[in-house]
Amino acid sequence: MNLKKISINAALPEKARSRILIIYTGGTFGMTYDKDGVLIPFDFASILEHLPTLKNLSLEITVVSFEMPIDSSNINPGHWQVIGEVIKDNYDQHDGFVVLHGTDTMAFTASALSFMLEGLHKPVIFTGAQLPISEPRSDARENLITSLDIASARRNGEPLVNEVCIYFDYVLLRGNRSKKVESMQFDAFNSGNYPPLAKAGVKIDYNFSAMAVVPSSSLTLRKSFETNISILKLFPGISQEIVHAILSIPGLKAVVMETYGSGNAPTLPWLTEELKRAIENGVIILNISQCPGGRVLQGRYETSKKLQQIGVIGGADMTTEAAVTKLMLLIGEYGPDRARELVGLSLAGELTA
């Protein structure tokens, strides 16, 4: 994938308080109108024209842009690998990173990066916008300015944030706890099972008790993904034919099964047999609740006890986005046997043990 690098003279290097790398992938954020009124990606070399207040942040900013910005609906693991490689290659030269990304799959990408960047000790802040930066009422300006401020924030020489996050509409969230919940309002994301890491008002109030505590270490990039994974969402009246078709996909390695409430499923003999057969054939089945809040408690009710007995793995309070990307990476990096051992453990703060 072709990338282009742009230096922004927001501050002289000798006067900059931090060096920040912006990675622009595409999305609504960076759109502007051409002379014919058609939305096109704008040139980041001219970002100071849109955001002159960048000069007030006293940052040395570099932008790495996808040469062909993409809609986030087209994001795939290959793009995650590119983002991870850019961060790894520029890690020692920068104090923080801001990733501009379309909102539709931002939670998937943020989750993936949280597992890919092992030993991360610097902020990686994802943000975007619901309206293009060229729009008068755009949320792009505030989202970017505050993301840069958070990415550069330090205390006693150490970064305040040491993890992959999403900043949107005045709230900082853990990336692998986030979900997109709104398409028509500015508060596009929330993390129902985890408190915000910070709230931005007149000043930014950090919730230090909720933030990752990461000792300084070298960064390791994990980037092998296994994509033969499926989602099985249960619903009243689901047929055996549908379940069988999904569980019989050739080469299937894992299934994220979205169940009811605290991990409950219908007590249908055929469903138990289909799941059991798949598990015996080596397919990992991870139980994730359809509820935006709460957690899977396999065995609490009769309707989930059988799942536990046949080897379905409880996903605790993971989001579907975190579950999918975690399985992809664990199987790709370590193989199914080791992935089965690790998937139920908290690797990057994605679940509550």
Pairing of strands 254-259, 284-289: parallel
Q: How far apart are alpha carbons 213 and 160 in whole angstroms?
A: 10
Catalytic residue among 25, 28, 109, 259: 28
State yes or no: is 53 an active-site residue: no
Q: How far apart are alpha carbons 134 and 330 in whole angstroms?
A: 40
Give the residue numbers marked as catalytic.
Answer: 28
